[in-house]
Chains A and B, each alone.
Chain A
Amino acid sequence: MNKELKRQLILSGILVCFIISTLFLWYNNFMFHTYVNTDDYQYCFAGGNEELSIDGYQFYKNKEGQKHGNARIIALKDQFLLKDDSIHVIVTSLKDKDLVFEHQLSVKGDNEVLTLSEDETKEKLSENDLTQLSVQIIIKRQNKTVYDQTVPLQKQDVYTYNGANKDYAISNVYVTSSWLKTGDFSSKIKNIEKQYPYMIIDYLYLKDNGQQDNINDYERFAYIKGKTADILKNTNRISVYYDEQGSLLDRPINCVVTLMKDDKQQKGYTFMLELHGSLKVVDDHE
Chain B
Amino acid sequence: MSKARKDMITIYMFRNALATLFAAFASFMISLIHYYQCTFAEALQRLFVFDIYTTLYFLLIWLFDYLIFEISKIIYDIYEEKVTFLPCIALLVLCGVIFFIPILDLFQYNLCILFLLICLRMVKEMWKRTPELFKWAHRLVDQRKKRPESGLK
- A interface, CB within 8 angstroms of B: 1-2, 5, 8-9, 12-13, 15-16, 19-20, 22-23, 26, 29-35, 38, 162, 164, 166, 277, 279, 282
How far does the alpha carbon of A29 sit from the alpha carbon of B55 in the complex, in Å?
12
B71-A9 in contact (CB<8A): yes
B134 at the interface (CB under 8 A from A): no
Q: Is the CB of B74 within 8 A of A12?
A: yes
Do A19 and B53 touch (CB < 8 A)? no
Stretch from B1-9, B59-67, B90-98 at the A interface: B59-67
Min distance, Cβ A42 to any Cβ of chain B, angstroms:
14
Say what secondary structure dominates the interface of chain B: helix
Q: Is the interface of A mostly helix, strand, loop or mixed?
A: helix
Q: B132 interface residue, CB < 8 Å from A? A: no
Contact across chains for A34 and B51 when beta carbons are under 8 A apart: yes
Contact check, A19 vs B67: say whether CB atoms are below 8 A apart. Answer: yes
Per a CB cutoff under 8 Å, which of B53, B54, B60, B75 touches A22? B60
Chain B residues near A (Cβ < 8 Å): 32, 35-39, 42, 45-46, 49-51, 53-54, 56-57, 60-61, 63-64, 67-68, 70-71, 74-75, 77-78, 104
> Contacting B74 at CB < 8 Å: which of A8, A23, A35?
A8
In angstroms, Cα B64 to Cα A20, docked, is: 7
- Shortest Cβ gap from B53 to chain A (Å): 4
* A5–B76 CA distance with the chains assembled, in angstroms: 11
Give the distance to chain B from A286, nearest Cβ to Cβ, in Å.
10
Enumerate chain A residues within 8 angstroms of B50, measured Cβ to Cβ.
162, 277, 279
A8 surroundings in chain B (CB, below 8 A): 74
Residues on A with beta carbons closer than 8 Å to the beta carbon of B77: 2, 5
CA distance A33 to B56 in the complex (A): 11
Question: Is B60 in contact with A19, judged by CB distance below 8 angstroms?
Answer: yes
Q: Which residues of B contact A22 (CB under 8 A)?
A: 60
Contact A279 B42, CB 8 Å, known A30-B57, A38-B36:
yes
CB pair B74–A282 under 8 Å, yes or no, is no
Q: Are B51 and A164 in contact (CB under 8 A)?
A: yes
